[in-house]
Amino acid sequence: MLPDGAEERLLANANVIANACNQAGAQQWDIVGFQAYGQQLDIEAGKVTMAAGGGEGGFGVRVVQNGRFGFAHMVDVTGAEKAVQQAIKIAAMSPKIDGFVLPSEQDAAPVAGLFDSAILDVQPETLLEQADALLASVASLDQRAVVTGGGLGVSATASILMTSEGIESSGVTTSHGLGVQVTIDVDGGLTSSYQGESSRSLMNDVPACVEQAVHWAQITQHPIAMDSGAVDAPVLFTSEGIAPLFSMVVPPAMTGEKLVRKESFWSGKQNQRVLADHLSIVDEGRLEGGMSSGARDGEGVPRRQQTLINDGHLVGSLWSTRDAAQQVAEGRIEAAISTGSASAGGHQSPPSTGCTELMLSSKRGGQSWDQLVEQMDNGFIVNGVMGAHTANPTSGDFSVTTSSILRVVDGEVMGPLKQAGLSGNLARSLNQKVVLGDDARCQGSYSSGRMHLPAVLLYDELRINPA
């Protein structure tokens, strides 16, 4: 799947761009390059509807001139000179950031588990066999269930980072992903559930997310009646249910830039309690097999494990080199340095501050699903929300809808609601009575990194409005 010599060609092409930077007189520069190849199958209406394969990639170059920076990107190096000149012109027109220089070389140990050679050998027939196994698994779990959307695919990405300060890092990563939308339609009562999973290694078996998708499509059948009108009640979020809201609200609140610009609900609360006192959040930039992990960040600074919240107290923040220099230069903070938190999402934009593998845990440990339901007593279970992107990362407020919701009375699940509105303030909820489940699962690949979250039982600042 990955052509021979892909990494070597990236290195050779990066050297072409580096020479263009030097010939143009750029004071400092960094170059990122990516070349990705993949194969995928799409599934609709219980059948494989499309098979595709191909590659994409390119290069991005950032130049820094006296604290001013400019960025340009290109598909191939035939446009290297033009792109470098464009970046230099942009830098000349950009505001100056006193003290902004690119980071120098520091040793960075490799991270294991980011590459699986077995993925390179995957043939289209292998993906078809996996798709057939997925469809057969769904049918065996419930003959009424149909995979109405989703698919599976594998990819390999060669990448390089090269800078004027002596940093040179390259490598190949692999991934195998699967997602399914399972629908059950009985007498016009249509329910569905989406679940997905991804890995740096080849997944040989049908993952557990497939059974989970069938399960939620089953248990949300036959909605029960409930008086209309909003009620304040505890909500037990599954890992899948809490992840979209959590990712929109919590990671941005811990970036240094938003904290010092007073754009975070935790601004001015360093070393103060911001979550329930048994909760901690760690960003693990070097997680073995992590989809967002790596030896270096998008600026070449070594990744590391960072404790951001410890026993409920805000003790850290996330910084990139550029953001740290800018906020110091503008006088919002006396000193700040990169925490290895610059994220390069691709070759078409400069790196920005973000988390990698964000993990929520409790020093009290976690409770089983049955214990969480029983402890909640009267409330609701939510497995998915719509509209999480509208959550306000500055205040923590959100207002979403859900059709994957169950009513709980006296610790017993009574049945599903057809649909409900869900609103509240996630920041305040997480700072009050919170109970975590005992099974943390990795959710999605968000722009703010990946979330490793258990089920979360929240008691306050939540309102359910049945449709």
- Rounded average pLDDT over 413-440: 96
97-133, pLDDT tens digit by residue?
Answer: 999 999 999 999 999 999 999 999 999 999 999 999 9
Per-residue confidence band for 446, with pLDDT thresholds at 50, 70 and 90 = low
Q: How many whole angstroms separate alpha carbon 193 and alpha carbon 228?
A: 24
Work out whether strand 449-453 and strand 357-362 pair parallel, antiparallel, or are unpaired. parallel
pLDDT interval class at 445 (50, 70, 90): low
Mean pLDDT of 83-87: 98
**Tens digit of pLDDT for each residue in 326-365?**
999 999 999 999 999 999 878 999 999 999 999 999 999 9
Query: φ, ψ for residue 10 (rounded to 5)?
Result: -60, -45
Q: What pLDDT is recorded for position 20?
A: 98
What average pLDDT does this structure show over 137-164?
A: 96
* The pLDDT value given to residue 345: 78
Query: Mind giving me the DSSP string for 13-26?
Result: HHHHHHHHHHHTT-
In the chain, % of residues over pLDDT 90: 93
Give me the pLDDT at residue 181, please.
96
Q: Which residue has the tokens 């009108």?
A: 229
pLDDT tens per residue across span 365-401: 999 999 999 999 999 999 999 999 999 989 999 999 9
For range 71-100, the mean pLDDT:
96
What's CA 205's distance to the chain center, in Å? 24
For residue 447, is pLDDT > 80? no
* 448: pLDDT strictly greater than 80: no
Amino acid identity of residue 284, one-letter, is E
* Mean pLDDT along residues 149-165: 97
DSSP for 353-401, written as a single string:
E--SEEEEEETT--B-HHHHHHHH-SEEEEEEEE-GGGS-TTT-EEEEE
Which tokens is 408 given?
A: 């709980």
Question: How much is the average pLDDT of 35-45?
Answer: 95
pLDDT of residue 337: 96
- CATH fold of the domain at 6-219: PmbA/TldD fold (3.30.2290)
Of 15-24, 76-85, 222-231, 456-465, least confident by mean pLDDT is: 222-231
Which tokens go with 455?
A: 């089920």
Spell out the long-range contacts of 18-25 with Cβ–Cβ below 8 A and sequence spacing 24 or more: 18/162, 18/164, 20/80, 20/81, 20/83, 20/84, 21/61, 21/63, 21/84, 21/164, 23/81, 24/81, 24/84, 24/85, 24/88
Q: What is the pLDDT of residue 208?
A: 92
The stretch 61-80 carries a mean pLDDT of 96
Q: What is the mean pLDDT of the segment spanning 157-186? A: 96
State both tokens at 13. 């092409």
| Residue 255, strand partner residues | 318
The predicted pLDDT at position 50 comes to: 87
Average pLDDT for 183-209? 92
pLDDT tops 80 at residue 444: no
Whether 1 has a pLDDT exceeding 80, the answer reads no
The C-alpha atoms of residue 256 and residue 226 are separated, in whole angstroms, by: 45
d(CA 290, CA 284): 9
Cβ distance 64 to 91 under 8 Å? yes
Instruction: Say if residues 157 and 172 touch (Cβ distance below 8 Å).
Output: yes
- For residue 188, pLDDT over 90 is answered with no
Domain boundaries, the chain: 6-219, 231-466
Average pLDDT of 212-218?
Answer: 96
pLDDT value of residue 196: 93
DSSP classification of residue 287: -
Instruction: Output the CA–CA distances (angstroms, integers) from residue 434 to 154, 236, 275, 405, 447, in the order listed.
Output: 38, 10, 9, 19, 26
* Amino acid at residue number 329: A
